[in-house]
Amino acid sequence: MSRIGKKPINIPAEAQVELKPGKISVSGPRGSLDFKLHLDIAVEKTENELLVSKKKETKQANALWGTTARIISNMIKGVTEGFEKKLELNGVGYRMAVAGKKINLALGFSHPVEKTIPNDLEVKVEGNVMIISGNDKQKVGQLAAEIRALKPVEPYKGKGFRYVGEIVRKKEGKKAVASG
CA–CA separation, 148 and 160 (whole Å) = 8
How many Cβ atoms sit within 10 Å of the Cβ of residue 113? 14
Report the run of H or E that residue 101 belongs to, with start and end.
none
What pTM, to 2 d.p., does this model score? 0.87
Confidence of residue 70 (pLDDT cuts 50, 70, 90): very high
141 and 92 share a domain?
yes
What does the pLDDT average to over 153-170? 91
Instruction: Examine residue 127 and state whether it is found in any structural domain, yes or no.
Output: yes
Confidence of residue 175 (pLDDT cuts 50, 70, 90): confident
136 and 120 share a domain?
yes
Structural domain total, the chain: 2
Does 177 score more than 80 pLDDT?
Answer: no
Q: Which of 17, 50, 80 is the last residue of a domain?
A: 80
Please tell me the total number of residues recorded for the chain in this structure: 180
Does 111 score more than 80 pLDDT?
Answer: yes
Does 133 score more than 60 pLDDT?
Answer: yes
CA–CA separation, 36 and 48 (whole Å) = 21
Instruction: Examine residue 132 and state whether it is found in any structural domain, yes or no.
Output: yes
Confidence of residue 151 (pLDDT cuts 50, 70, 90): very high
What does the pLDDT average to over 139-144? 96
CA–CA separation, 162 and 160 (whole Å) = 7
